[in-house]
Structure 1
Amino acid sequence: MKKFDKDRLLLGFAGPALALVSAFVLSMIVLAASGVDPIEPLRIMIEQSGYEDVQVLIVNQAGTYYLAALAVAIGFRMNLFNIGVDGQYRLAAMVSALVGAAVTLPGPLHILVIVLVAMLVGAFWSGIAGILKAKRGVSEVVSTIMLNAIATSLIAWLILPKNLGVQPVGSNDLTTGDIPESGWFPGVELGDGMEIYGFTFIAFALGIVYWFVLNRTRFGFDLRATGASESAAQASGVDAKKMIMTSMLISGAVAGLVSMPLLLGESHTYNLSFPAGIGFTGITIALLGRNNPVGIFFAALLIAFIDKASAGLDTAGYAKEIGTIMKGLIVVAVVVSYELVRRYGIRRQQQKVGEELAAGHAIKTEKEVAA
């Protein structure tokens, strides 16, 4: 039993390790084939990460990515592919920013209202896909992709000045209005204008909650059991359709929090430049971290490092899109590496079963001879 646990642990590390090594090698090959020094850009990125302001940017970005990856991971553990995290988070960001700018409340209560609104909107938007999946058998992949497009159009319509948006004087930007200071989440001041968003620590703390609920509660067991085998879970008394709905609602609620570090810590409004695509980055991070909160944490730091450290490449004469290439290759490497490790794990288990059967047969033969 102990040996089996050791093998499983090694296989768990083998997937991410192989993916990262493969992505690094492929990145070097692509850069060399393009006539670019394959080592110098990486050296510059590592050098950039040594600056304190870049480190703060990496940590803040990692907190946002961590929340997106947790939202995706909740769906993955239920064998659901929630591609709609991006639409859920952006719609939640806009509606919560509207509410935050429209009300005036005491500090903690104001922040709580904004956070709850974001969670409710994210849960509502993902719940649509959950209902379609549970009641009509519609693939969550298709429905969440369509809901992303609908969310984008809905946001574009709502933010128009004739509807709910505000156009600052002398600007072409459109916003939801500024959230009063009572709705700002305090951060950690590091001097020289640098600040780690306070909600970043909430994001990482949610990883502990995710682990506890998934591994130490009946709900977490039911969720994992249903994700592993829906028919087996139903046979043991678990309502699979209810679990689908519940997991999609929780995934959407967490997705609604993705914007909170930036919204409550820096921008204090939703505008046309609010970042998009974070939900899709969360898919990469969840896969690389194998849906484990610790693995997701390091994967979020890695992707945040690539994002922020690669921004300084253009000043050294290199295209900052090298970072985008690296992230793309990580996605490819993750898919291929995990499949190779999975197949090796199956062969390894089959080999061990064969060895145990052969050993048992040999012992039985020895006893027959002795008799």
Structure 2
Amino acid sequence: MTRLLGWWRRIAPTLVALGVALAVTAVFILIIGENPIAALVALFDFGETPVAQANSIGVWINRAAPLFLAGLAVSIGFRMGLFNIGVEGQYRIATVVAAGLGAAIVLPAPLHILVITLIAMAAGAAYAAIPAILKVTRGVSEVISTIMLNAIAIGIAAYLIRSPFVDPELGAGENVATTRLPESAHFPGLNELFGVLGLEEPRRPVHGFVVVAIVVGVVVAVILSRSRFGFELRASGLSALAATANGISSRAMVVKAMLFSGALAGLVGLSDLLGSAHRFQPDSFVAGYGFTGIAVALLGRNRPGGIALAALLFAFLDRAGPRLQSEGIPPAAVTIMQGIVVLSVLIVDEVARRRLRRREERRARAQDQATTPVEVAS
């Protein structure tokens, strides 16, 4: 019963925040002159035909996997007290390097995919090491350095796909891209799984990399809750001075946390790369996962399970964007809704935290008064 009550207290603020976000979004839709009821119906409309419904579910899955990985990457820094805004640049660099080097090697199918995955993680970790080293050696804020490195990553990626990784068949024109990955590097999709479940198969590829994302989430959850690294990460995030007093080097933990975060960020772009794109091309590269991952991590309270639910929610809202637009609601409404959800969660959390603190203070005063001996007048 106590565990159930504790679980309810953890999710109650989020449920309240979602209700507040829905109400505020409804007011926004009224202000722009549209019907909020029609918007709500469109939000849960997956299509009229079985094929359309399958395609919509496929888009949901394809969007959720990279958002989940981005949220995990951001959450590692949050647990350490670091604000790693550089996930956006880290997964861009990792995707370019993985696409270029992956196309240059020839290996059997499972091994080829594994090597590309390790290359992407190494590239993401290497790019994340830059702000980590700057912070521990020069005291440079990771917020400033990662923001700047995001912009630099765009230039580095543009250079890599125009010089060392360019597809010779395309040349260096406007439609420049990396060499296409061989079939041994194509990650199997989940389209046939729909047929096994008795559903219509989607007409678009459903990325099977979501299975890897789930495995990564489980591994990260175990590492954070059951390993020495996870304990040191939490201890350093709560109090660097106390952690140092117990023999934990805060400087080393900053580097380790950023490397771990960057390695997870390197996985973000592989879902699209190995599942459907099979090359890096600026026009088809999906940007923005890193920034949205910050909101996903906040909404998920830096816990892998919560981040998974937050990623599903944000992917669900993204999937509904075209349907909302058909009802006359601008696409920006989805972004506004996502922002309201995060803001509502933060506000409700702060209100709940303050109420809990006041309750604990009243309880402590009551206990002090009960234990204080009463002076008897002589």
The TM-score with structure 1 as length reference comes to 0.91
CA distance in 2, matches of 1:127, 1:244: 10
CA distance in 1, matches of 2:263, 2:32: 43
1:20–1:49 distance in 2 versus 1, CA, 3 Å? farther
> Which aligned segments of 4 or more residues in structure 1 are displaced greater than 4 angstroms?
5-11
Residue 300 of structure 2 contacts residue 309 of structure 2 at CA under 8 Å; is this kept in 1? Answer: yes
5+ residue gaps, structure 1, are: none
Residue 38 of structure 2 contacts residue 327 of structure 2 at CA under 8 Å; is this kept in 1? Answer: no
Residue 312 of structure 1 contacts residue 320 of structure 1 at CA under 8 Å; is this kept in 2? Answer: no
How many correspondences in the alignment? Answer: 362
Residue 325 in 1 paired to residue 331 in 2?
no
Which residue, out of 103, 106, 110, partners 1:104?
Answer: 106
CA distance in 2, matches of 1:218, 1:352: 35
Residue 179 of structure 2 contacts residue 279 of structure 2 at CA under 8 Å; is this kept in 1? Answer: yes
Which residue, out of 129, 132, 141, partners 1:130?
Answer: 132
After superposition, residues 96-175 of structure 1 pair within 5 angstroms as: 96-160=98-162, 162-166=163-167, 168=170, 172-175=174-177
Which residue, out of 300, 306, 321, partners 1:295?
Answer: 306
1:49–1:14 distance in 2 versus 1, CA, 3 Å? farther
Residue 129 of structure 2 contacts residue 259 of structure 2 at CA under 8 Å; is this kept in 1? Answer: yes
CA distance in 1, matches of 2:74, 2:11: 20
Q: Aligned residue for 2:246?
A: 236
Deviation at 1:345, TM superposition (A): 2.5
After superposition, residues 1-371 of structure 1 pair within 5 angstroms as: 9-48=7-46, 51-160=53-162, 162-166=163-167, 168=170, 172-188=174-190, 189=192, 190=194, 191-272=201-282, 273-361=284-372
Give CA deviations for 1:40-81 in whole Å, capped at 9, x if unaligned: 112112012782211121112111110000000111111111
The TM-score with structure 2 as length reference comes to 0.89
- Range 187-196 or range 96-105, more displaced: 187-196
Deviation at 1:99, TM superposition (A): 0.8
Deviation at 1:138, TM superposition (A): 1.2
Deviation at 1:170, TM superposition (A): 12
CA distance in 2, matches of 1:192, 1:47: 16
CA distance in 2, matches of 1:142, 1:170: 33
CA distance in 2, matches of 1:173, 1:332: 40
Residue 165 of structure 2 contacts residue 179 of structure 2 at CA under 8 Å; is this kept in 1? Answer: no
Residue 49 of structure 1 contacts residue 305 of structure 1 at CA under 8 Å; is this kept in 2? Answer: no
Aligned-partner residue type, residue 257 of structure 1: L
1:84–1:49 distance in 2 versus 1, CA, 3 Å? farther
1:238–1:250 distance in 2 versus 1, CA, 3 Å? same
CA distance in 1, matches of 2:355, 2:39: 34
5+ residue gaps, structure 2, are: 195-200
1:117–1:77 distance in 2 versus 1, CA, 3 Å? same
Residue 49 of structure 1 contacts residue 309 of structure 1 at CA under 8 Å; is this kept in 2? Answer: no
CA distance in 2, matches of 1:138, 1:163: 32
Q: What is the DSSP-based 3-state SS (H/G/I as helix, E as strand, rest coil) of the residue aligned with 1:178?
A: coil
Residue 197 of structure 1 contacts residue 262 of structure 1 at CA under 8 Å; is this kept in 2? Answer: yes
Percentage of pairs with the same residue: 43
Aligned-partner residue type, residue 349 of structure 1: E
Deviation at 1:202, TM superposition (A): 1.1
Q: What is the DSSP-based 3-state SS (H/G/I as helix, E as strand, rest coil) of the residue aligned with 2:36?
A: coil
